[in-house]
Every structure is written in structure tokens, then in C-alpha cells.
Amino acid sequence: MTGMAAIMIFAAAAPAASRVAVLPPPIVTIAEHGARMVESTSDQLLAVFDVAITAGRDPLWSDSVRVGQAGVSYSQSLRQADEICPGRPRLSNDAYRSFESSRQLSFNLSRRGPREADSFSLSVRWQRPMSACEGGGNRGVSIEQQIEIAPGQTVRLNGDAGLAVSLTRHTP
């Protein structure tokens, strides 16, 4: 019997129990008091939120997000050529390539600290284009705030230019 055939027979004859996946032990942390061991899992650090961001009555973005130790981040961006303005002299195509407008939205939510179960840092930034027919450019607003929100609660924050964010925290 060749060496390769012997290896294949040995592998096929190995008992099924030797091929069982071994799971890692749970995470164990020591309490500040130092005397008591506390078992914790990543599920205990997870907070789930429904998020809705609006500008006046216009929805900008909404979704359900999960915040763990690293927090959550979302962004969207659109860059495009400016609009053509009626009544203005038409520029060459080369001239239009240098005029752009952009629309951007970013959302960040993170825990303020490992022992702050209901305390979060929120950042929402919204940039929108101004009409090229009115001079062009962009305008931007943001909301950056520390919030306290327990499971089952909803927090609504209002910023400038109609920007608003609503957070509803799920109960575990």
C-alpha cells in the first residue's frame, strides 16, 4: 500500500468524535471588587435601535441598527454635475465638468464607555446642494450629542434646517 492510500484509509477510519468542533469558552471578566467572577457575552453589550433621519417631512434614511462595543456607522454620498439653468448662456461640456453638487449623509452611534449601559454618543451630518441657478454651493448641518436612552425609550433630536433624528431602543 502506498503512503497516500494509507493516509486516506486512516482518515476515513478516524472516529467521528475526533472531528467535532470545539467551541471557545465564554468570556470571563473580573468585577471591580476583584472577588467575584462574572460571566458576560457579547449579547449583553448589544443594543438594537430603530433610526429615522428626516429633513422636514422628507425622509433621508431609516433602518434598524445594532450597537456593540465598536458602535455603528452609516454613510451615503452622491456627487453629480450641476443642473442646467434656464435663461443662462449655455457653457461648453468641458465647463460643466468642473461644476458639481453633492449630497451626503452620515450617522454614527457608539457607547460612551464600557460601564455606561444607557449612555451613547450620536453624530448625524447632512450636506445638500444649493441650486446652481442661485449660485450653487453646498449647505451642511449636524447634530452631535450625548444621549441617555434606556431599552423601550424613544429619543428625538432636532437640528437646524429641519434635520431631525429619532432613535427607538429595543427591549432585550
pLDDT tens for each residue of 41-58: 445 578 999 999 999 999
Establish if 4 belongs to a structural domain.
no
Establish if 3 belongs to a structural domain.
no
Establish if 33 belongs to a structural domain.
no
Establish if 8 belongs to a structural domain.
no
Establish if 29 belongs to a structural domain.
no
Establish if 115 belongs to a structural domain.
yes
pLDDT at position 165, please?
Answer: 98
What percentage of the chain has pLDDT greater than the value 70?
A: 66
pLDDT tens for each residue of 120-157: 999 999 999 888 777 778 889 999 999 999 999 999 99
C-alpha cell at 151: 431599552
In sequence order, the 6+-apart residues with CB closer than 8 A to the CB of 12 are: none
Q: How many domains does the chain have?
A: 1
Query: Where in the sequence is the domain holding 162, given as residue range(s)?
Result: 46-169
d(Cα 108, Cα 44) in Å, to the nearest integer? 20
Establish if 112 belongs to a structural domain.
yes
